[in-house]
Amino acid sequence: MNELEFLHQQVSLERRHLAEVRSACQAAIETGFSEPVLDEFGGVCAAYLVFILDRFNAQDQKHVDQLRSRLTADEAGFAPVLDDLGQTLVQSREAIDLLRQALDARRRGEATAAELVLALQNYLRFYEGTLRRQQPPLAPLFARHYDLADWRAASFVTADSVLEERSRFAAVSAQLPPGIELKTAGRSG
């Protein structure tokens, strides 16, 4: 496997893990587990979401910045797509900051488990209503303008980031409530 394949594979794995954590978190909340269970599981889910979504927001912002500066006259139609993605990233950073604040407040004992769960529910609704629908068609621009150095710069994949993501995902896996699985699109994890 070459470096470019590794970067793509790692980012894809992280995005799959995000989907699995979101799905498990949503399922646990909907199941109505007791507050202590939701407090522990919600805490590791929130910590994972804050970490990974900070990374994804940074990746996507880097894509917007790199691509915007390279648009040619015949690609002017992509400018509004990049502008829209940029605005969505502003909303995403605001939404994840609210979850981060709730998680930090819970860790300091200044918020209840119920308040953390509410912050998780609010973030999951935002994700479902805004981010999940946001899938701009940037593949033609990547194919035309990106090389290994661009992917390296935009992926933010480092040995430390890989280890941190694995550690946080393992923490979620270790706290799964009974009957809750890490899965996406009908696939068990």
User: Model pTM?
Assistant: 0.91
Beta pairing partners, 184 = 187
Q: In which domain, by residue range, is 70 found? A: 3-188
What is the pLDDT confidence band of residue 187, given thresholds at 50, 70 and 90?
Answer: very low
pLDDT at position 175: 95
Are 47 and 21 in contact by the 8 Å Cβ rule? The answer is: no
Residues with Cβ within 8 Å of residue 71, at least 6 apart in sequence = 78, 79, 82, 141
pLDDT at position 189: 41
The pLDDT tens digits for 18-73 are 999 999 999 999 998 998 999 999 999 999 999 999 999 999 999 999 999 999 99
Lowest mean pLDDT among 25-29, 54-58, 96-100, 143-147: 143-147
pLDDT at position 131: 77
Nearest CA to 56 out of 4, 11, 7 is that of: 11
Are 44 and 175 in contact by the 8 Å Cβ rule? The answer is: yes
Q: Is pLDDT larger for residue 157 or for residue 138?
A: 157
Query: Beta-strand (E) ranges in 90-148?
Result: none
Percentage of the residues of the chain whose pLDDT score is greater than 90: 81
φ, ψ (nearest 5 deg) of residue 188: -75, 145
Cα separation, 156 vs 162, in Å, equals 10
Mean pLDDT of the chain: 91
- For residue 157, pLDDT over 90 is answered with yes
The number of domains in the chain is: 1
- For residue 149, pLDDT over 80 is answered with yes
For residue 187, what is the enclosing H or E element? strand 187-188
Judged by phi (left if over 0) then psi (alpha if -120 to 50, else beta), residue 32 lies in left
- For residue 188, pLDDT over 60 is answered with no
